[in-house]
A and B are shown apart, each in its own frame.
Chain A
Amino acid sequence: MITVLYYALTAFVAVLLVRNFIDRKKWQEEVLYVIVLLPFVLRILRLK
């Protein structure tokens, strides 16, 4: 059950990161959000 909640949290944070990526105006910040997003996506997909 705790594991499921953690996956839900991970997905929630990933959605926030995607939203922030869309809202950014500077390309440096866009790159930063994409890099930060990667480990969240890999965990949701159960790759790492």
Chain B
Amino acid sequence: MTMRKIVIAALGAALGAAAGLSFYQSRHLPEPVVPGPGVTAVKKLSDYFGPLEGTANDVNVYVLEGAEPGGAFLVLCGTHPEEPAGRLAGWIFAENASVSKGRLFVILTANRSASTVTRLGGAYPPDYTIVTPWGGRTFRMGDRWSSPLDQWPDPEVYVHYPSRQELAYIDIRNLNRTFPGRPGGTLTEKTGHAILELIRKERVDVVIDLHEAELQYPVISTIVAHEKGADLATLTSMMLSSEGGFAMGVENSPRALRGLSHREIGDNSDAVSLLLEAPQPFLDATRGRTDRALLLTGRDEFVVRAGKQGLLFEKIDDAGWPIDVRVGRHTSTILQILEIWSEDNPGRAVVAGGVPRYDEVIKSGTGAYLKDVKTADPAKIVYE
């Protein structure tokens, strides 16, 4: 072997080592959670479906149980980890909420595997930091699909179970296309099955799945509701749009599109299933540089230009869609759903407090509601 070959091979090895180190650090970035006073137990998803134990998706389930008996809610975050407002809203609940009646279950990273990778070829940042009064908290950026390291290869065509509907091949790793899941299926299908097992075993009344959407997607700034939750979603939309400080629409969950939480959870359990969409310009195809600033500020001149051409389904201006606005929309909507449900179903009420609403999150910032890990009791800290 010539000296030239050795030099080229060494340069290649250095390049591979640098890339590999970056990917490794991104995949293993620890995300601490300081459970708030309302958290009475931290379970694992494998407590509801054993075969998930030891996998990337054996995630934490935060249980907030009130002194008074009542109903049960599940707030599902991180079904698509690349939509961070949902996870951050969940973090605020896990670290701040208190429940006086009923039980509240919070999953911060429903598809943890997808949180350990970013979109291949997408040039996404590996992580982002939320500024807090005591410094900052860094989170994994994540992707829409489970990591190929945890589930590979993909089929030519993904056949959804049990409907047998044919979907895009890559969506076999999309948790929001694999509900209700399959006990003997892929990791993503097992995860969906485990979440359904939790819902059935804990007799969950309402499931709220938190998402964000690009402004070029027609289902945006809305609640997508299974028919069982149409009244609840409509009332919530009316209250938020008139008194909540922001407009919120309602969409019916289509019966013909399978695998989505708002359809399959409602069809395969007694729970009402709702999905919330907040606007996220970071996901728009016409965006400019895909960096942390865009993720957190939601400001992009190219998306604004698309809006001027009438190509968007949500308004945008130079102010963008900052992360605090998107997180606040989610916290306020969850609180509103809790209130309306509890008024209409006093025997299955879930009463929660300690969580900021839309205007409070915008005023103080998301970081104001994240606890300082350095001053927390180390024995209480858990990791996502």
Residue in B11, B19, B153 whose beta carbon sits within 8 Å of that of A34 in the complex: B11
Question: What residue of chain B has the Cβ atom nearest to residue A25's Cβ?
Answer: B2
The answer to whether A22 and B1 have CB atoms under 8 Å apart is yes
Q: Which residues of A contact B4 (CB under 8 A)?
A: 27, 30
Interface residues on B, range: 10 to 19
Residue in A21, A35, A47 whose beta carbon sits within 8 Å of that of B23 in the complex: A47
Closest Cβ–Cβ distance, residue A23 to chain B (whole Å): 10
- Max chain B C-beta neighbours (<10 A), residue from A3, A41, A42, A48: A48
Give Cα distance in the complex from A41 to B15, angstroms. Answer: 12
Q: Which residues of A contact B15 (CB under 8 A)?
A: 38
Chain A residues numbered 2-45 whose CB sits less than 8 Å from any CB in chain B: 2-3, 6, 21-22, 27, 30-31, 34-35, 37-38, 41-43, 45
B-side interface mostly: helix
Work out how many contacts link A and B, with CB atoms closer than 8 A.
Answer: 44
Closest Cβ–Cβ distance, residue B346 to chain A (whole Å): 50
Q: Which residues of A contact B201 (CB under 8 A)?
A: none
Closest Cβ–Cβ distance, residue B188 to chain A (whole Å): 14
The answer to whether A42 and B5 have CB atoms under 8 Å apart is no
Question: What residue of chain B has the Cβ atom nearest to residue A31's Cβ?
Answer: B8
Interface residues on A, range: 10 to 19
- Using A6-B152, A6-B153, A46-B149 as known contacts, say yes or no to A38 and B19 having CB atoms under 8 A apart: yes
- Using A2-B153, A41-B16, A42-B16 as known contacts, say yes or no to A34 and B23 having CB atoms under 8 A apart: no
Give Cα distance in the complex from A6 to B117, angstroms. Answer: 20
Q: Which residues of A contact B9 (CB under 8 A)?
A: 21, 34
Closest Cβ–Cβ distance, residue B367 to chain A (whole Å): 31
- Cβ of B134 within 8 Å of any chain A Cβ, yes or no, is no
Give Cα distance in the complex from A6 to B155, angstroms. Answer: 12
Chain B residues numbered 12-60 whose CB sits less than 8 Å from any CB in chain A: 12, 15-16, 19-20, 23-24, 27
Residue in B12, B148, B149 whose beta carbon sits within 8 Å of that of A38 in the complex: B12
